[in-house]
Structure 1
Amino acid sequence: MALAHKNISAGTSAGNDPLRVMVVDDAVVIRGLLTRWLGEDKAIEVVGSYRNGKLAVDDIEKINPDVVVLDIEMPEMDGMTALPLMLAKKRDLVVIMASTLTRRNAETSLKALSLGAADYVPKPETTSEVTTSIDFRRELIEKVKALGARARRMRGPVRTMRAETLAGRTATPSSRVSTPRQINTRDAFRGAPAPVKPGAARFVTRPYSSIRPRVLALGASTGGPQALQEVMRQVGTAMNEVPVLITQHMPPTFTAILAEHVGKAALRPAREGEDGEILRGGQIYVAPGGKHMIVEKEAGAVKLRLTDDPPINFCKPAIDPMFDSVAKAYGSSALAVVLTGMGHDGANGIRSIAAGGGSIVTQDEATSVVWGMPGAAAATGLCSDILPLSEIGPKLARVLKGKTR
């Protein structure tokens, strides 16, 4: 059964209005649960609830949601079939895929990101686990609010111009020229050029270390899989002599597949890190879901360690412990990167990197899917550069070769 709530014409919802969310899931219990959870948040209004992709696609223009929570496996029309049809009807739509933690669904979720989905939320495998999972509920609501709010901000000026035109106030040529190009969530994933917001210059930066890096450590969360692939593709052969450490907020199964995708993008060996292995140049190590990945010096070598310590910043793996350990092991030869993501994981860790004399690069606001983590990093005043996604890889390549300008 499909449940549609009150309609609103395109382009009329104000920035302070609740985010309009559509839930699409064939399981009636799960659909009802997600609808209730989301509807209990005052910042969210559930405007539609559907049992398959076809019904949802048919109603996209009428319901005009800001965000769609889209199940992958459904009868009649599954989520992967519905995704491009939804985006074709509403280009700035935020679609969050919801899937259980199987390898097949993990592969599908990551493929969905490349096709325009904003993010994914891994669902527990059984209805009873979904019902009792506090983490799943928290992650779902946080991602809906963060991604939906960003999409609204990005299209705000467009709505204003449309409203002025309808009111008979045609924009002057100069005002049209000065209006920055709007980007949507998918632009940010693909690294499309985007204007850096004027406020980016307000952050203090510090010089790069004069020591050539001996390790590259990257942290990412929401929007990270696509951003990581973009960066690794552009760094290329410059990582031949250094190990690359990646902590991406992801559950088990997903991280193994992420490693495969990153390796293909980088044309380098990439896999989940294993406890006790010695780091080697040109190898990419991805923190396994459900474990923290750190490094430590031992008998003249640097080894990986996987720990089962409690979550940090609600995350496991977390970026802070990786950065802390990299700072201790590498000192001024550490190069760290903070990419798109919610929250502030990594901000404490870069303090350790900076204290040890290392260098930090963070992604700018305009190209971040969510500017939580990179924004927190930039606010410390300890970064050497705050760059658009398309410029991070080339900059890292130069720094790894000993060139900081």
Structure 2
Amino acid sequence: MASAVKVLLIDDASLIRRLLGRVLNQDPLIEVVGEAENGQEGVELARTLQPQVIILDIEMPVMNGMEALPLLKKAAPKARIIMFSTLTESGARATLDALSAGADDYVTKPSNTGSFAATAGQINKQLAPMIKALAASATTYPSIRPHAEPKAAQQTVPDADHSWLTVTSDGAPEIVVVGVSTGGPQALQTFVPALPADLEVPVLIVQHMPAMFTRLLAERLDAQSAVKVGEATNGQVVKPGEVWFAPGGEHMYVTRQGENIVLTTDTAPPVNECRPAVDPLFESAVENFGSRVLGVMLTGMGNDGLAGSRLIKSVDGYVIVQDQASSVVWGMPGMVAKADLADQILPLNEIAPRVVDLLSTPRNRK
């Protein structure tokens, strides 16, 4: 049996620490090895305990989470750090600051700490899987050689009726669709600003995040990038050289309406336990653009995007995935790679240049 992941809790609220400790310790694969009520105390415990995962509050006395973050990375350099933030605009901004400064992921604090059952459910659904995925992210996956050339199209798509599909292999990509989750804000700060202002197509992104977080992330990237970046609204008309995020809590789809490319959103049930989810976007892109879809799978936990990537390949579209070494968690891209659906597996900093190359030389996919 695998040894339990060692977790350090740093939060000034004793109630939160008790709730987290009680719930997490019920999982045989997780062990809370220490608790601290401020960043300063947390740094000392991290140095002594060398936890694998640290759950870090932002607002604390003596030393807050942002002040503690760089010190924790020095005290326990192998530890993964999860920010524990409130679902407020200030909390979201601080969380994005922390992710930019080297935190690995975040979860929002339970909205009702008075109900143990509700809190336990939220922790078991969100936090426990994240702890285990981050701790396991150093696991070596089977070696997969990056593909230098695209593979032949798969003519059928299992377990689904997609009789509307047409398979063609010529023509430039007309749309870029991106799926990303754990580690996404950091990855997107490399990918999006590397896109040129004269990009020939729109880029559509599903990042697993709640409402407000996606808007703030889009605003932040817009200020850093030559391309226009925003959070999509229902009925949004998109143009080349623009990057649009699915709004937190809503699925996003792309359609053609005459000569326009239009985004629609809805609150349909979660897909792969996610909303927004990658697969609905990828499927709508294939339905409307066929082989002229360029899919990109970046760092993330789970398998969202696997079915969508299979669909892209079924019409001879092109799929790029981020490599394991540059991913915070090689779950989503790893699933696509191990299913042999990736045309190329690239380090993060090579993905945007490759996208631009494919758009400018569509027939030279080597």
Residue 319 (structure 1) shift:
0.2
The residue aligned with 1:220 is 180
| Equivalent residues of 2:150, 2:318 under 8 A apart | no
Q: State the secondary structure of the residue aligned to 1:285.
A: strand
Question: What amino acid is aligned across from residue 37 of structure 1 in structure 2?
Answer: V
How does the TM-score come out when normalised to structure 1?
Answer: 0.81
1:324 aligns with 2:283: yes
Residue 129 (structure 1) shift:
6.9
Residue 214 (structure 1) shift:
1.1
1:92 aligns with 2:78: yes
5+ residue gaps, structure 1: 1-14, 155-196
The residue aligned with 1:231 is 191
1:206 aligns with 2:151: yes
Q: State the secondary structure of the residue aligned to 1:22.
A: strand
Residue 337 (structure 1) shift:
0.3
Please give the residue correspondences for 1:3-402 in structure 2 after superposition, counting only pairs within 5 Å: 16-128=2-114, 132-133=118-119, 134-151=121-138, 153=139, 199-201=143-145, 206=151, 209-237=169-197, 239=199, 241-402=200-361
Residues 139 and 29 of structure 1: is their aligned pair in 2 closer, same or farther, counting only changes over 3 Å?
Answer: same
Q: What does the per-residue CA deviation read over 1:77-99, in whole Å, with 9 as the maximum and x for residues that have no partner?
A: 11111111111222222111000
- Alpha-carbon RMSD: 2.1
Whole-Å separation in 1 of the counterparts to 2:103 and 2:65: 11
Whole-Å separation in 2 of the counterparts to 1:225 and 1:331: 29
5+ residue gaps, structure 2: 154-168
Q: State the secondary structure of the residue aligned to 1:357.
A: coil
Residues 129 and 248 of structure 1: is their aligned pair in 2 closer, same or farther, counting only changes over 3 Å?
Answer: farther
Number of residues paired by the alignment?
A: 347
Residues 231 and 282 of structure 1: is their aligned pair in 2 closer, same or farther, counting only changes over 3 Å?
Answer: same
| Equivalent residues of 1:238, 1:401 under 8 A apart | no
How does the TM-score come out when normalised to structure 2?
Answer: 0.89
The residue aligned with 1:404 is 365
Residue 235 (structure 1) shift:
2.7
Residues 198 and 41 of structure 1: is their aligned pair in 2 closer, same or farther, counting only changes over 3 Å?
Answer: closer
Q: What does the per-residue CA deviation read over 1:364-393, in whole Å, with 9 as the maximum and x for residues that have no partner?
A: 122211111101111232221111112111
Residue 126 (structure 1) shift:
4.2
Whole-Å separation in 2 of the counterparts to 1:335 and 1:288: 21
The residue aligned with 2:156 is none
Q: Percent identity?
A: 41
Residue 323 (structure 1) shift:
0.2
| Equivalent residues of 1:242, 1:280 under 8 A apart | yes
| Equivalent residues of 2:254, 2:263 under 8 A apart | yes
Q: What does the per-residue CA deviation read over 1:67-115, in whole Å, with 9 as the maximum and x for residues that have no partner?
A: 1101111122111111111112222221110001111111111111121
- Segments of 4+ in structure 1 off by > 4 A? 202-205
